[in-house]
A and B are shown apart, each in its own frame.
Chain A
Amino acid sequence: QITLKESGPTLVKPTETLTLSCTFSGFSLSTHEEAVGWIRQPPGKALEWLAVIYSDDDKGYNPSLESRLTIKRATSKNQVVLTMTNMDPVDTATYYCARRTGSYLLFGHWGQGTLVIVSS
């Protein structure tokens, strides 16, 4: 059974750096063509893809947010970590991690998400 779970702070202040962890089970990021991504969703709004990390440690970022994002993995812990710098109230959202399906960037398994509020 494949599971993913996000963890991190619920509240961050403007200008701070957000660090989120995704702990997963049921698959290994060391397996060829596996990938884990992050997607966020502001309350009542649409989904926005943020970043992805692949089994070969290649990474991809949303071009509009790339300067603020870093994704990395801790393979031995089955974890993927996302950092986002210079947080702003518009970054308030539920942040999801998800495992991609097949060889393309579509996501067949999702965590339940973690709500991050940016407020002073």
Chain B
Amino acid sequence: GENVEQHPSTLSVQEGDSAVIKCTYSDSASNYFPWYKQELGKRPQLIIDIRSNVGEKKDQRIAVTLNKTAKHFSLHITETQPEDSAVYFCAAYRSASKIIFGSGTRLSIRP
């Protein structure tokens, strides 16, 4: 069946450096790709999303890129800060009844 692979599962970066998380999806009909941030004990919250007709989207220090041909999309966080420490989830959305989440990446920011 359809799936979304997310890598790496854990990531540790020095404060101020960049972090990149990558997701690969299998369903070529997927057309919407959100990213969620989940702090410990909290709900997943949408931080950025991209639709299939766009190749890149940026919001301050966060950006997402999409390569439809290769069926992968990536989250880029620049100038990382301690508050960026969290678990990040990607998802591939084909329809409201077909949403597949990645398994998550635990990002730690070293001071």
**A, B co-complexed:** no
Where the two chains meet, the residues of A that have a C-beta atom closer than 8 Å to any C-beta of B are none
